[in-house]
Amino acid sequence: MTNPTSATTATAAAVEVTDISDEQLHTSAEAAMTTTPADQEHQMVRALTVEELDTDLYRSHELWHPHGSRGAFGGQLVAQALRAAWNTVPEEFHVHSLHNYFLVPGRSDIPAIYQVRRVRDGRSFATRVVTCTQQGKIVIVCTCSFTKFDATSETLHHQTPMPDNVPRPDELPNNNERMKMLLEDPRIPDDYRERFKNFMDAVTPVEYRDIKVDSVEEFARGRIEPSERQGQWFKVRDRLPDNDAALHACTIAYASDSGILMTAVRANGMMARKGIGMMASVDHSMWFHAPTRADEWLYYDLHSPRSNEGRGTAFGRIYNEQGVLVATTSQEGIIRLTKGEQERRRKNLNKL
């Protein structure tokens, strides 16, 4: 298997966001993901573990239910499906793409079952289709394609450069530090305060640092300047093994589902899900261009070209610290406004 340290030289179910009571979110799986820093060792390994039940049949070890969502975290489902598929290909193969559809929200209080179908085994490519089910319902369907990296042949090579003037991660507060600073300001509305506290309570395996740090004034106003581009640094908190390229790639798949659909929301000048009645990922695709480490900082350059008809589309490019484009992502999702936000917009149109 390719060593991820060679990356620099080589070159829920849909998560629906609604008004959910705290009681509905207190599941045993969420408690498993809410740990103290001392308990974080190998947290990502546990999050991605799938147990082999039979040939091509796997079961999740744990699932996370993010606060404010109706289902298990979609990025974890995709990453576990990829992990299950990877277990069925020869060691010299590495994922180069996946295409996933979220069909129904996953549950975090029961295991997910992953059935792998071996569609093709060729000399250079292997294809797997993974069906994730819970209680007989299909939650996601994920097609994964694997290939051998060819270091001997001359091939075409180019990439879109990493954006210029991106602040370094050590120049930015982590998202918990941002929430703490905001909570100390009395101008922050009460409805945001509860969300911030819930966010800070959950110690997830991945640390994110957003490029755009929203101001207190923007939170008080509930609006930001519309921008089609967003960016964030991320890395897994734990040190991952050096000899497990699959774990590093699955970790990147896990992290890539966070924030991408919100790019379409922020392109409309909205923030922190204010005025959003429901968000649900419909599909998620990834192309893996080069192996890299997931426990070193990666920059996620996000862009949303379009939102309409209650859906938003976003694309992402993931770069390592050396500026190598290691993965590309795309996602479409449902974005529905609350009735109150729809009425507010109708009134504004009538004033024109």
Kindly list the catalytic residues: 257, 281, 331
User: Which residues have C-beta within 8 Å of that of residue 3, sequence separation ≥ 6?
Assistant: 242, 243, 245, 291
- Pick from 76, 73, 118: nearest CA to 93: 118
In one-letter notation, the amino acid at residue 181 is M
User: Which residues have C-beta within 8 Å of that of residue 163, sequence separation ≥ 6?
Assistant: 231, 301
Q: What is the DSSP string of 10-78?
A: -------B----HHHH--HHHHHH---GGG-TTHHHHHH-EEEEETTEEEES-----TTBSSS-HHHHH
- Pick from 188, 134, 142: nearest CA to 286: 142
8 A C-beta contact, residue 66 and residue 17:
no
**Residue whose token pair is 């879109």:** 160
Helix ranges (DSSP H) in 144-215: 175-183, 190-201
**How far is the C-alpha of 173 from the C-alpha of 99, rounded, in Å?**
33
Strand partners, 281: 333
DSSP assignment, residue 254?
H
**How far is the C-alpha of 182 from the C-alpha of 174, rounded, in Å?**
13
| Cβ neighbours of 243 (radius 10 Å) | 11
